[in-house]
Amino acid sequence: MSTSVTAQEIHYRWNDLPAEPLKGTISRRLVTSERMMIAHVYFKKGDDVPRHSHENEQITYILEGALLFWFGAEDNRQVIVRAGEVVVIPSHLPHRAVALEDTLDVDVFCPPRQDWLTGTDAYLRG
């Protein structure tokens, strides 16, 4: 007779999760699984995310507000992503952003951002 392990779902409510304060007035809430991570990231107008890159694929979906992104090592490309819009950021692509207004973005990463989980994401803690 074999036994099997059944995976169990986990239910979260964003407002019940602690908001982690970062640089400026940026804060975030995280939900992570073994192979994915989703985050709510909260910006006030003018908050900026310095240029960085990571191995993780990233999908950013703006729920409220707008972010101006620069992509490439020399800021070769600019894109404004507004509420209801999504940008897909490939692995290792340098990028930075600034909030054009108060913004709520949803970031999805695969695999999970270990630097976010361990608190070693110094670029966001300046």
For the entire predicted model, the pTM comes to 0.92
pLDDT for 3 beyond 90: no
Q: Which one, of 22, 29, 81, 72, lies nearest residue 47 by Cα?
A: 22
Domains in the chain, please, with CATH? 26-124 (2.60.120.10)
Q: Are 113 and 37 a contacting pair, CB within 8 Å? A: yes
pLDDT band per the 50, 70, 90 thresholds, residue 2? low
pLDDT for 97 beyond 60: yes
pLDDT for 69 beyond 60: yes
The count of C-alpha atoms lying within 13 angstroms of the C-alpha of 112, restricted to the half-sphere facing its C-beta, is 14
Task: Provide CB contacts within 8 A for 85, sequence distance 6+.
Answer: 61, 62
